[in-house]
Structure formats: C-alpha cells, structure tokens
Amino acid sequence: MRSRPWDVYVTGVAETPLGEVTGQTELSMVALAAREALAEAGLGLKDVDGLFVNYLGEQGSVQVGEYLGIQPRYADSTDLGGAAFAAFVHHAMLAVAAGRCEVALVAYASRQRSRRVRRLGETPDPYTLIGQFQAPHGLPRPIGHYALIAARHMHVYGTRPEHLAEVAVAARRWARLNPKAWVRTPLSVDDVLTSRMISTPLHRLDCCLVTDGGGALVITGRAVASGAAKRPVRVLGAGESHTHWQISQMPDLTVSAGAVSGREAFAMAGIGPDDVDFTEPYDSFTITPLLAFEDLGFCGRGEGGEFVSGGRLGPGGELPSMTSGGGLSYNHPGALGVQLLVEAVRQIRGEAGERQVPRHRVGLVHAVGGCYSAASTVILAQD
C-alpha cells in the first residue's frame, strides 16, 4: 500500500450505552466508550495525546480531559453541530499526519432523552441576529428549517412525500437487523405519510429519534495502528464546509455545504462516488440523505427522490446506506456523527452481523450540523 502524507487509521471504535441511559452522566458514558475504543486499538487512556470533543460542558475538551486524566498536546473542540465529528476525523488526520499528536480520541455522549433537554423554539434576544430575524417567526428548530429545504426541493424538482418516506423505510429495514436499534417494528411508506404532520411536508416519521447515546473512536498513524487488536481502517479522505446560520442566508436551499465537503473528501481520497460500496449519511430528517446524495454526486441535481427509492438504500440494495438504522430508527443522541463513523468502521471490518453489507471495501460517512448549516464527509477504506 502506497504511503501518503495522511497515512492515518481508525484503530478503535465503541458506542456508549444507548437508548434511555440511567445511572450514568455524559462524562461517564464517554469514559466507558473511550476505554473500549482504546482497548480495540491496543492502547489506554494514558496514550491519548490528542483530544477531539465538544458538547460535554463548557470549554470543549477541557472538562473531558480532566475527567479522563488526559493532558493533550493537541486539543480541538470545533463546533459544527452534528457535523463536528466527521470534521474531527479530518482534523485528527491532519494533526496525526503532521506529528502534532500520535493517538487522537474523538468522543461524544448525550442523555437528551432522559434529561428532556430538547426544545423547538429559539430565544428572541434583541442583540443577536437569530433573535431579531429568525426566532420571532416561530419556525421550529431544526425541523422547520429542513421542512423549508424539503418544500423547495419538491417545488423545483417534483420530489414527492413518498420519496422522503422511502428514506425512513430503508432506515427501518436496517434497524430490524440491528439488535441495538431503538425501533425495530416494520414500517411502510404509508405509515410515514399517515403519521402526524409536524411542519409541512415533514411528518412525525420523517424525523429522527430523540435518544441517549454516543461513542468514541481512536485515530492513529500507521506505526501505532500496527499494535491494534482489530484490523485498522484507513482514512482515505475528508472534507468540511458550512453555508449559513440563519436559514434566510442559505444561498440555495437545494445545495448544501455537502457539495464542498464531499468534493474535498473525494479529491483527497482520489476516488469518486462509483468507488463507494456503502454510505452512512446523517439522517436527521428524511430530506437530509436525499439531498446529500445529490451534493455528493451519487446522483444528479433533482434526482435524489428517484435515487432513494426502489430499495436502493436498504438491505440487499445497490447502495446500502444508514446500515445501523440511522438516526431515524437506531439512535439519535442530538449528534450522530461519532456513531455514523463507528458503524462504517464495523462494516468495513466485516463485523456487522446480520446487517453486514456484502461489499465493504470503501464506506462514506456524511454528517450534517445545525439547520443543514454545516457538513463534513469522511471516506474510510480497508487497508
């Protein structure tokens, strides 16, 4: 295998406890997942010198470092919402390649379900731009924003509610094969379309779950990877971008930051969409993967609706996607990024059990943050 400047590997992965988690805090959940992921990498907490975490309390990695007894020489708490974690892999890859750290730990946990911390409104603060120009209009956050994107896509390209529902159905078919998935009952297109309308055109079953969960991954260079207990998975390419904070400022509602993050990741990897065996797109809402497939070049502009239909994404389909059951049916702890990466690594290693995809040489993870504000893409491959 040709050596590249970014000869970097994911050498260990783990999920935190999932679902409705009691007897734990977010920090203790992260600690458990970190120890497990490091064990897969043949390492311990004392080996970690790069810490890539956020959303676990003020000052990003600082509290997590204290809790885990880690004093990093590289610390990153980039805030890209749900897109932060694939971006962390991008950053960790560069930091490891540049020799600024040897063992990078990426981690996340949330108890958003148990703690009931989710709310739909925004604060009408007269000092902030969101407070002045977005909050007063009652657009539920984030679903209303994704609803505007879906409505525009439907208007411009003739995308139908049935197309959106296909995404939820594909995710559920995968969840039925994943013993850790939160919902495993059968789901039809009709079930989605007759579920309660939340914000047109998105129904209740077009929306992701609200659960507790999280995970951890370890990223190292080639030399450290050789000591891993499990087969290391190579990071081939990564990219990130963002377009807006207020939905009114998104330049085109049918083109997301994923167009840039995907282009960058594919360019770094030196491959194209045709070389990808399976994908783990962030399915916060059914429109999210549909648009992502267009942004990433898996299909043409406006073709997302047809692309996600006909079973293409489900078990046995041409492009297996959301193979854990995704945010729609497996788990959604507010930011799914780490778990998308964990699932991709397990698929590439061939250890996904009943839901193992047949071809698993190259997997693509695409994460989205905020109100389709940010996107990050990571391409992983067998070494």
Partner 1 sequence: MDHDPLTTWFWQGAAEGVLLVQRCEECGHHQFYPRPFCLRCESDRVVPIEASGAGTLYSFTVVHVSTGLDVPPPYAVGLVTLDEGPRLLARLVGLDHTIGDRVTVRWRDGNPHPVFGPAARPASR
> How do strand 233-242 and strand 213-221 relate by DSSP bridges?
unpaired
Q: Single out the residue of 125, 190, 351, 354 in contact with partner 1 (rule: CB under 8 A).
A: 125
Instruction: With H, G, I as helix, E, B as strand and everything else as coil, classify residue 280.
Output: strand
Question: Could you tell me the smallest distance in angstroms from the CB atom of residue 145 to partner 1?
Answer: 9
Find the binder of partner 1 among 24, 25, 77, 128 (CB under 8 A). Answer: 128
The two tokens of residue 363 are 């997997």
How far the first Cα of the chain sits from its last, in Å, is 7
Among 44, 136, 179, 300, binds partner 1 (CB under 8 A): 136
Q: How far apart are CA 57 and CA 55, in angstroms?
A: 6
Q: Which listed range, 12-20, 125-133, 333-341, 351-359, lies at the site for partner 1 (CB under 8 A)?
A: 125-133
Show the site string, 150-189: x = touches partner 1 by CB under 8 A, - = not. Answer: -xx--x----------------------------------
Q: Which is nearer to partner 1, 143 or 181 (CB)?
A: 143
* 248 binds partner 1 per the rule CB under 8 A: yes
Rounded to an integer, what distance in angstroms lies between the CA atom of residue 119 and that of residue 122? 8
Q: Which two tokens stand for residue 197?
A: 């309308």
Question: Which stretch of DSSP H or E encloses residue 138?
Answer: none
The Cα–Cα gap between 352 and 369 comes to: 26
Contact between 255 and partner 1 per CB under 8 A = no
> Can you tell me whether residue 120 is helix, strand or coil?
coil
Q: Which helix (H) or strand (E) holds 50?
A: strand 50-53
Residue 18 sits in the site that holds partner 1 (CB under 8 A): no
Does 302 help bind partner 1 (rule: CB under 8 A)?
no
Catalytic residue (one of 55, 108, 330, 372): 330
Nearest approach in angstroms of CB 160 to partner 1 is 15
Provide the mask over 76-115, with x wherever binding to partner 1 is found by CB under 8 A and - wherever it is not.
----------------------------------------
Determine, following the binding rule CB under 8 A, whether residue 121 of this chain makes contact with partner 1: yes
What DSSP line would sit under 296-341, residue for residue? TTSS-TT-HHHHT-TTTTSTTSSS-BSTT-IIIII---S--HHHHH
Report, as residue numbers or ranges, the catalytic residues.
282, 330
Which residues make up the interface to partner 1 (CB under 8 A)? Answer: 119-121, 125-129, 132-134, 136-140, 144, 147-149, 151-152, 155, 196-202, 246-249, 253
